[in-house]
Structure 1
Amino acid sequence: MKKWAFVSDFDGTISKKDFYHLVMEKYFHEGEALYTKWKAGEMKDIDFLSTVFSSIHQDETQIIEDIHSLEIDEHVTAFIRKVQAQGGDFYILSAGTDYYIHHILQKYGITDVKVFSNEGYYMEKNVHMKIDPDHPHYSERYGIDKSTVISELKEEYEMIYFAGDSEPDSHPAEVADVTFAMEALQGILEERGTPFIKVNDFYDIDRHLTEREVLK
């Protein structure tokens, strides 16, 4: 069994803005009504995201340019390399799509990071998601069941650290050994009584792991 791994959400955790927010701001203003329905629980996450991502109507070069415009945490690339250099593995676990995540990893030269996410692809000027109900990680609501992924990783590692920022991350937080919570996830976990460490960014996470002597 391997010693430890760090698993991170992408949108709003590694990236400073969710990709769907960028799409709505630039190309799909009508999405605000859908956003309200989704947040009210009247729409599944996967249906909301599928609608937004298929409302871009731009050539792929423009979409990639938009993806590259997403700001990421200033410390995350150094943190990933530090984890990998000191005996840990780094994973990304996202209920978005791997399409834009891989473009960001490539832009920043981040390697040896496995991405667990909904499969995404470009077709006819939009981004689409391939959701397979027979996939072992399938979730009817999110497309991918983050808790199942964490549970499987726990069979490989003695310790799983997890970082997230929003409601979909509340479920894997119940399974991970240690959860670092940002933004809205803090209040959600507090209400549920799920243990977590409050952080603002990857500098905070790095400091906590250094204090615990997980990192040097």
Structure 2
Amino acid sequence: MKKWAFVSDFDGTITKKDFYHIVIEKYFEDGKKLYKQWKSEEIKDIDFLAAVFSSIDQEEDIIIDDIKSIEIDEEVPSFIRKVQKSNGDFFILSAGTDYYIHHLLNHHGVEGVKVFSNEGYYKDKNVHLNIDSGHPHYSERYGIDKEKVITELKKEYEKVYFAGDSEPDSHPAKAADLTFAFSQLQELLKNKGLSYVNVNSFKEIEDHLQKKGILD
């Protein structure tokens, strides 16, 4: 069994803004109405994202430039390297799509990171999702069941640490050995009676793991 893994959500955790917000603001005015329907649970998460990502109507180079413009926590690339140097594996677990995640990781020179997310691809001026209902990680609501992924990783690793910021992250938090909670996830986990560490940056996570002797 491997020693440990660090698993992080992407949008709003590694990045400072969700990609769907950028798309709605720049290209999809009707997305604001759709956002309200999603938040009131009239439509599923994956249906909301599929509608937003397929409403961009731009050439791929423009979409990639938009992705590269997404601001990330500046400590993340060095944090990932420190995890890898400390005999840990780093994973990204996202209910968005791997399409923009891979572009942004490449832009920041991040290597050796496996991404668990909904498969995405560019076609006809938009980003489309390829959801496989037969996949072992399939979720009808999110496309990917984050808790299942963490549960599987726990069979491979002695310890699995997780970081997230929003409602979809409250499910894998139940399975992780320790969760670092950003933003609204803090209140969600508190209400569920789950233990977590309050954080606002990856520097705070790094400090915590160094004090525990997990990070070199």
Equivalent residues in 2 for 1:39-58, closer than 5 Å: 39-58=39-58
Partner in structure 1 of residue 97 of structure 2:
97
Post-superposition CA distance 1:156-186 (Å, at most 9, x none): 0000000000000000000000000000100
Mapped partners of 2:24, 2:168: distance in 1: 20
Mapped partners of 2:117, 2:31: distance in 1: 22
Corresponding residue SS for 2:74: coil
Q: Normalising by the residue count of structure 1, what TM-score does the alignment of the two structures yield?
A: 0.99
Post-superposition CA distance 1:81-118 (Å, at most 9, x none): 00001100000000000000000111011011000000
Equivalent residues in 2 for 1:1-216, closer than 5 Å: 1-216=1-216
Corresponding residue SS for 2:184: helix
Corresponding residue SS for 2:148: helix
- Deviation of 1:29 after TM superposition, in Å, equals 1.6
- Deviation of 1:130 after TM superposition, in Å, equals 0.1
Corresponding residue SS for 1:101: helix
Corresponding residue SS for 1:112: coil
Mapped partners of 2:85, 2:108: distance in 1: 17
Letter in 2 for 1:153: L
Mapped partners of 1:173, 1:144: distance in 2: 15
The gaps in structure 1 that reach 5 residues or longer are none
- Deviation of 1:41 after TM superposition, in Å, equals 1.1
Which 4+ residue blocks in structure 1 deviate beyond 4 angstroms? none
- Deviation of 1:42 after TM superposition, in Å, equals 1.1
Corresponding residue SS for 1:117: strand
Mapped partners of 2:186, 2:37: distance in 1: 23
- Deviation of 1:193 after TM superposition, in Å, equals 0.5
Mapped partners of 1:152, 1:191: distance in 2: 26
Letter in 2 for 1:172: P
Aligned residue-pair number: 216
Corresponding residue SS for 1:174: helix
Mapped partners of 1:210, 1:39: distance in 2: 37
Corresponding residue SS for 1:81: helix
Corresponding residue SS for 2:73: coil
Q: Normalising by the residue count of structure 2, what TM-score does the alignment of the two structures yield?
A: 0.99
Mapped partners of 1:195, 1:25: distance in 2: 35
Mapped partners of 1:177, 1:43: distance in 2: 32
- Deviation of 1:30 after TM superposition, in Å, equals 1.2
- Deviation of 1:199 after TM superposition, in Å, equals 0.2
- Quote the sequence identity (%): 66
RMSD: 0.5
